[in-house]
Each structure stands twice: as C-alpha cells, then as structure tokens.
Amino acid sequence: MTDRHQQQRFESLLREHRGVIFKVASIYARNLEDRRDLAQEISVQLWRSFGRYDEQQAKFSTWMYRIALNVAISQARRERRSASERFEPLQTHHLETVGGGEALAEADERLTALYAFIGQLDPLNRALILLYLEGRGYAEIAEILGVSETNVATKLGRIRQKLRGQMIGAATTTTRA
C-alpha cells in the first residue's frame, strides 16, 4: 500500500470513528484545552501505530479504543505522578464539547450523578465503564483492555454495586432534606 493510499485510508477510518476519540478525551481530561490536547495526542498515536494495524486481528474501532485508552490512561498516570492531584468528577458541562450541549445541560439528575460517579473512578475502571455504556460486549471490552472476560464481569459487578450504593445514599439524603 502506498503512503498516500495508507494516509487516505487512515483519514477515512478516523473520520468514521472520531467519536471514540472525543468520548475517551471527555472522560479523561479536566477541561476543554486538556481534552483537545488529549484528542490530538490520541490521533498522533493512532497514526504512528496505523502501519501495524491488522484488520484480520481486530475491528478498527476495537484497535482504536485500545490505543486511545492506553494514551489516556498513560497521560492520567503521568499527570497524577507529576501533579499529585486527583481529577475532578466529570460534570455535565464537561460533556458539552462532545456535542449536544443543550440536551446534556438539561440532563436529569440521575445522568449527572452517573457522570460524576464515572469521573471519580480510577482510569482503568473509567475505560471499562465507558466501553460498557457504549454497548460493547464483555469479550470486546476484555480484548480492548487486555484483561480476561471474567475480570471484566467482576469489575463491572463491583462498579455497579458501588454505583447502586451511591445512588441509594443520594436518594436517602435527598428524601431527608
């Protein structure tokens, strides 16, 4: 494949699946500038790795998620080490850059609470829940994250249990107030 043909194919696939980049960036970056920087870094790493992409081994979206999440998780770990600070919980306004800002701004309290919960998870569990909410199956999540399906099921069960506890606690607090 010529370099020009490879570049055109990459650009076409990237346009088709660009939502992956924005979703990952919105989950892992704190503000608009950081999301843009992360999206750019993901795109660069995707291009650098594209020569090794084998469509016989994985769907493009699976391969893309794997790279995007690796870049985001690596960056999150670097930032945590260098700044020793926690990410602020994901808020509705963080999602406005993904699109549909008006609809997201009017999201109900449960959706807002869900995104706040996701923002408090460690980077690997954020990736796991993102893929789960995308409707990816356990096998595909396991492939993307490089863990077993059993590990995916166990971690998702724990995340759901923790979320249930938080939602019940929040409902109880709201009812008492």
* pLDDT at site 106: 43
Residue-number span of the structural domain to which 78 is assigned = 3-176
Q: Say what the pTM is.
A: 0.65
- Report the run of H or E that residue 126 belongs to, with start and end: helix 123-133
Q: For the chain, what is the domain count?
A: 1
Cβ-in-10-Å burial (0-12, 13-18, 19+) of 26 comes to buried
- Average pLDDT for residues 155-175, to the nearest whole number? 79
pLDDT (average), residues 6-27 = 91
In the chain, the amino acid numbered 2 is: T
Confidence grade of residue 177 (pLDDT, cut at 50, 70, 90):
low
Region 42-47: mean pLDDT is 94
